């Protein structure tokens, strides 16, 4: 009977060792903190998307054509907030 008890104790010790090592590895792999936002984002919200000519054309035709980030876009049904005269 002592032999089985010794095996059970030895098995429990190995199991505790495996669980402890796994918990340590998981704890070390977790991030320790992060910066939630970059220090400075460029503020481009005040820059108009369309020039005065593009906005006038968009109001007349309902389609806006413009370039952004070196790409050419054509948007049908451009929202009125982008084509308002006071926005430009």
Instruction: Compute φ and ψ for 67, nearest 5 degrees.
Output: -120, 140
> Where are the extended beta strands (E) located within 1-88?
63-68, 71-76
Domain segments of the chain as ranges: 1-30, 52-81
Kindly give the confidence (pLDDT) of every residue in the chain, 88 residues in length, as a single tens digit, with 9 standing for 90 and above: 588 888 889 999 999 999 988 888 887 777 666 656 655 655 555 566 788 888 888 888 888 888 877 888 888 887 777 777 765 5
Take residue 16 and report the two structure tokens written for it: 């505790």
């Amino acid at each position: 009977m002592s032999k089985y008890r010794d095996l059970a104790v030895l098995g429990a010790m190995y199991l505790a060792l495996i669980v402890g090592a796994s918990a340590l590895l998981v704890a070390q792999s977790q991030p320790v903190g992060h910066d939630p936002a970059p220090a400075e984002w460029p503020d481009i919200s005040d820059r108009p998307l369309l020039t005065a000519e593009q906005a006038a054309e968009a109001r007349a035709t309902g389609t806006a054509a413009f370039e952004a980030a070196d790409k050419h876009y054509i948007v049908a049904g451009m929202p009125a907030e982008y084509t308002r005269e006071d926005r430009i």
